[in-house]
Amino acid sequence: MQQSKCYCGPGYATPLDAVRDGPREKLLYVVTVQPDLDEPHGDYLSTVDVDPESSTYCQVIHRTFTNSKGNELHHSGWNTCSSCHFVGDESKAPKRDRLILPCLTSDRIFVVDVATNPRAPTVHKVIEPDVLKNANVTAPHTSHCLPNGNIMISIMGDADGKAKGDFVEFDKNFNFVGTWTKGDKVAMCGYDFWYQPFFNVMVASEWGAPRLFRRGYHPSDIEDPTQYGRRLNFYKWNERELFQTIDLGEEGMTPLEIRFLHNPKENQGYVGCTLYSNVYRFYKDENSDKYLTEKVIDCPAKKVSVDGKEPEYVNGMMTDILISLDDRFLYFSNWMHGDIRQYDITDRRNPKLTGQVWLGGSILSDSKTKVLEDKELTKQPDPTLIKGRRLLGGPQMLQLSLDGKRLYVSSSLFSPWDKQFYPDMVKAGGTIALIDIDTVNGGMKINESFLVDFGNEPYGPSLPHEMRYPGGDCTSDIWIVNE
C-alpha cells in the first residue's frame, strides 16, 4: 500500500519519524500498585505531570482507581499503535484512545479511556476474570495492538495457575475473540512478545507458573523447567503456529523483556535474562528458516556477606530492557545490584558499554551487605539521594523519551517480590527518577531536579511500575513495512 494513497492513523510512519517529529512528553501514565491488600481503592493508574514548565511538575495530578482488591496491575499497552498507521479507508482509521491494563493476580483486564480527558482518565470497561478462565488461561501480561486494530495479550498460566504460554485476542470493542495460537504446539511458559510481520515472525519469552511467582521468589522453583522459563518461542505470524523453541540453558534462565529492533526490516533483537543478568541476541540464520541466539552481555554476580553470615552470590536481576527508537542504544536495569546501563548496539553482536548510573540496590556502602568479591567495581556504590529523598529498592521499569534524551525509571517490580527483597521501599513508597541521556556520544546522568515520590499517596505509600506516554512510547509501538 503506497503511503500517498493511504490515510494515516495513530503514531508515526517510521521509528525515525517518531524520533524527529515526536513531541516532548508532558504526561506520564504510571501503573501504580497498592501494597496494602485490604485497601478498598486498590491499584490505580497515576497521571504524572512531566512538563518542566508546569506548576505541578513531578506531581501525581490524577488517580484512576480500580476500586477493587488484589488485582496487581503490572504492564499496559495501547489499543492501537504505529502498526495501524496506514489504512486504506479514512473512516476506519483507528485512534489511540484506550490503555489496556491486565492484572497478574486477579486476571481482570481494565480498559481505560485516556482520550476524553487525557489528564484525568476514566475506566471504560472491566473484563472480568471468568472471560479468561473459561478459555483455560490466566495471568495476562503484555498487551500489543495488532495491525488490524485488534488487541492481543500474552498469558502465563492455565485456569489452575500452572505454566502455559499462549495469547488471547480481543476485538476493537474489547470483546473476547479467543486464544491465538493454532496447531498442536503450545509454549511451556509465557511472558512478553514482539512481532515483525515483514518476516512473518513473532517471538515470545518466558517467566513461570502463576501459582509459583505469585507467592514470592523461591530458588527451588527454577528446578522444574516446565514451570519456570528458559526458552524463546518463535511463531509464524500469519499461520499463528509455534515453529521453533530455543532453550537458552541455565545462563538464560527467566528471559523476560524481549524486543525486536524497531526498524521493521531488521530481523533480530535482544532479550534480557533476569536471573543471571545476561542479554542474548536473537537473529535469523542466513542459511535456514531457523533463528539463532548468542549471549552478548554478561553481568557477573557479586560475592557478598550479609550481617556477617556465610558468603553468597548476588546476581543483578535484570528486570527490564529497552531499545532506543533509532536502534542505537540498549538500556537495562539491574534491580538487585542497583544500576542502569547504556550500551551502544551499532555493532549488533558486540554491544559497547557507554553509560552507567546507580539508583539504590542491595549492595550499598552503608548497608548490611559487605561485598567480598566484585569483578566490576572497586568499591560499593553509595546511596542515591534526589531532592533530599533517599532512593530505596532498585531501578526497575524504564521508559525513554521519543528523542532518546530522557530515561524515566521506576522502582517497583512486583509487589510480592518487592515485599520480599525491598520491604523498606514498600513501607516508604516507590519513586520515579529521571536520567538525562547524551544521545551524541553516549552517557547517562541523574537529573537532580526530578523526582516523583509515591510515599504520600492518599491511601498510603504505593508502588509505581510501568510508564506510558499518551502519544505512544519506545516500548509499545511496533512498525510494519509499508510498501
How many CB atoms sit inside 10 A of residue 303's CB? Answer: 15
Mean pLDDT score, 405-430: 98
CA separation for the pair 135, 99 (Å, rounded):
23
CA angle 100, 270, 215 (to 5 degrees): 55
Which three three-digit cell numbers place residue 200?
A: 512473518
Question: Which tens digit of pLDDT belongs to each residue from 170-181?
Answer: 999 999 999 999
Average pLDDT over residues 293-316: 97
CA distance 225 to 247: 10
231-236 and 201-204 strand pairing:
antiparallel
Find how far residue 101's CA is from the centre of its chain: 13
**For range 360-383, the mean pLDDT:** 97
pLDDT higher than 80, residue 3: no
Return the beta strands (E) in 307-427 as ranges.
312-314, 318-323, 329-334, 339-344, 352-358, 369-373, 385-386, 389-390, 398-400, 406-410
* Dihedral class, residue 408 (left if φ above 0, else alpha if ψ from -120 to 50, else beta): beta
Question: What are the DSSP E strand ranges found in 105-150?
Answer: 109-113, 122-127, 138-145
What number is the average pLDDT over the span 107-120?
A: 98
Kindly tell me the sign of the dihedral angle through the C-alpha atoms of 261, 262, 267, 272.
positive
Predicted pLDDT of residue 86: 85
pLDDT averaged over the chain? 96
pLDDT, one tens digit per residue, over 31-83 is 999 999 999 999 999 999 999 999 999 999 999 999 999 999 999 999 999 99
pLDDT value of residue 2 = 43
Task: Work out the pLDDT band at 471, boundaries 50, 70, 90.
Answer: confident
| Global pTM value | 0.97
Query: What pLDDT, on the 0 to 100 scale, is given for residue 5?
Result: 55
Q: What is the pLDDT of residue 482?
A: 81
Count of alpha carbons within 13 Å of 133, Cβ hemisphere only?
11
What's the pLDDT score for residue 90?
Answer: 75
Q: Which residues contact 433 (CB under 8 A, 6 or more apart)?
A: 359, 384, 386, 391, 395, 408, 409, 446, 447, 450, 451
Band (pLDDT 50/70/90 cuts) for residue 88 is confident
* Contact assessment for residue 282 and residue 270, using Cβ atoms and an 8 Å cutoff: yes
Q: How far apart are CA 179 and CA 132, in angstroms?
A: 9
d(CA 58, CA 350): 37
Structure confidence by residue, pLDDT tens digits, 436-456: 999 999 999 999 999 999 999
- 447 neighbors 371 (Cβ within 8 angstroms): no
Q: What is the pLDDT of residue 6?
A: 66
Q: Are 156 and 189 in contact (CB under 8 A)?
A: yes
pLDDT of 1 strictly over 50: no
Average pLDDT over residues 464-476: 94
Alpha helix positions (H), 154-255? 210-213
Q: Which of 413, 193, 380 is nearest to 303 (CA)?
A: 380
C-alpha cell at 256: 523476560
Mean local confidence (pLDDT), 187-205? 97
Average pLDDT score over residue span 370-379: 96
- Contact call for residues 407 and 426 (beta carbons, < 8 A): no
| Mean pLDDT for the stretch of residues 197-203 | 97
State percent of the chain over pLDDT 90: 94
